[in-house]
């Protein structure tokens, strides 16, 4: 079967750095997405990786290792507004997104 694993919840301090990990086992791989979802709202796109390595976009970076079935989302200079759930999703061989359950990130002052 297909499986995406992420930690259920993480806590970090305002101004700090946090890394959210995602491991996957899917039938095929055509890219990995990270989305942010604030409570009660819709998911919004953060990043896309299809090749190994690090993609940096402002305070957010995403890393992919296809051989290890592993990705992480790195958030720097954390702000209170970064409190949200972070969803990892893999595009499988049928070009359908398989979603992890999400990591709830709690930011403390």
Which DSSP state fits 81? G
Indicate which single residue of 91, 103, 105, 107 sits in contact with other proteins (rule: CB under 8 A).
91
Indicate which single residue of 77, 101, 106, 108 sits in contact with other proteins (rule: CB under 8 A).
101
Kindly state the smallest distance separating residue 46's Cβ from other proteins, in Å.
Answer: 10
Nearer to other proteins, 6 or 12 (CB): 6
Joined together, the tokens standing for residue 48 give: 């896309």
**Between residue 14 and residue 73, which ones bind other proteins under the rule CB under 8 A?**
30-31, 33, 41-45, 48
Nearer to other proteins, 20 or 78 (CB): 20
Joined together, the tokens standing for residue 65 give: 């290792």
Residue whose structure tokens are 């359950």:
101
Contacts of 46 (CB under 8 A, 6+ apart): 33, 34, 35, 36, 57, 60, 62, 73, 86
Greatest C-alpha distance within the chain: 43
For position 81 contacting other proteins by CB under 8 A, the verdict is: no
Instruction: Give the interface with other proteins as residue ranges (CB under 8 A).
Output: 4, 30-31, 33, 41-45, 48, 87, 89, 91, 95-102
């Amino acid at each position: 079967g297909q499986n995406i694993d992420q930690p259920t919840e993480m806590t970090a301090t305002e101004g700090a750095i946090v890394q959210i990990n995602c491991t996957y086992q899917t039938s095929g791989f055509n890219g990995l997405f990270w989305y942010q979802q604030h409570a009660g709202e819709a998911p919004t796109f953060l990043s896309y990786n299809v090749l190994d390595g690090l993609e940096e976009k402002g305070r957010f970076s995403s890393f992919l290792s296809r051989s290890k079935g592993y990705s992480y989302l790195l958030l720097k200079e954390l702000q209170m507004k970064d409190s949200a759930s972070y969803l990892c999703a893999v595009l499988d061989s049928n070009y359908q997104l398989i979603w992890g359950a999400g990591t709830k990130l709690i930011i403390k002052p």
